[in-house]
């Protein structure tokens, strides 16, 4: 099952990156979010899987797709001059960053401590833990995120509706 959900996530993410149509790229992102939700289920964390589907796939992608559909009223212009050197420099830079990231992760003290101690897997998250953490410890961040989403929605409506 892990291979199935990992392949769904990777293929959808690659489809999103390689797609020229913005709407189809957004739909590929939805498929990638579903794949990640399946991976959360395999980690015995149904709360995170439900949040992934409800919050990311349901709310954020609907918002993104609506904004893309409302604001994408023209086609992009083709580049006048092709710069192939930029492509190869960017590929080399991404490769170097990936190698550096892998080296940092493998040399991290947290990974060494985890391997040395043989620590047990953490327990699965349940709704009681999420609710307590969200509304007790993280209440200010929760309210700020709500205000930020509200202001983004008002800004999107203001940008698209000129004669309010």
Domain assignment present for 106: no
Domain assignment present for 15: yes
Q: Which of the 8 DSSP states describes residue 74?
A: S
Domain assignment present for 85: no
- Model pLDDT, residue 15: 92
Residues 74, 12: Cα–Cα separation, whole Å: 26
Listed ranges 6-10, 16-20, 158-162; the one with the highest mean pLDDT? 6-10
Range of the domain at 130: 126-164
Domain assignment present for 134: yes
Closest CA to 13 of 22, 25, 1: 25
Q: Which two tokens stand for residue 140?
A: 């200010």
Q: Rounded to whole angstroms, what are the CA distances from 3 to 9, 28, 42, 79? A: 10, 18, 11, 39
Domain assignment present for 157: yes
How many domains in the chain? 2
Domain assignment present for 86: no
pLDDT band for 162, please (50, 70, 90 cuts).
low
Domain assignment present for 155: yes
């Amino acid at each position: 099952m892990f291979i199935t959900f990992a392949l769904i996530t990777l293929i959808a993410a690659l489809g999103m990156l390689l797609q020229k149509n913005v709407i189809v790229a957004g739909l590929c992102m939805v498929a990638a979010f579903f794949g990640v939700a399946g991976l959360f289920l395999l980690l015995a964390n149904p709360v995170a899987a439900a949040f992934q589907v409800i919050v990311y796939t349901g709310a954020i992608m609907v918002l993104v797709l609506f904004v893309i559909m409302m604001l994408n009223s023209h086609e992009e212009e083709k580049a006048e001059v092709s710069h192939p050197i930029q492509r190869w420099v960017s590929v080399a830079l991404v490769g170097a960053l990936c190698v550096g990231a892998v080296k940092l992760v493998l040399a991290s003290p947290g990974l060494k401590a985890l391997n040395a101690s043989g620590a047990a897997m953490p327990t699965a998250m349940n709704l009681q833990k999420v609710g307590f953490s969200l509304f007790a410890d993280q209440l200010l961040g929760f309210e700020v995120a709500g205000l930020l989403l509200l202001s983004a929605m008002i800004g999107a409506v203001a940008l698209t509706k000129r004669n309010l």
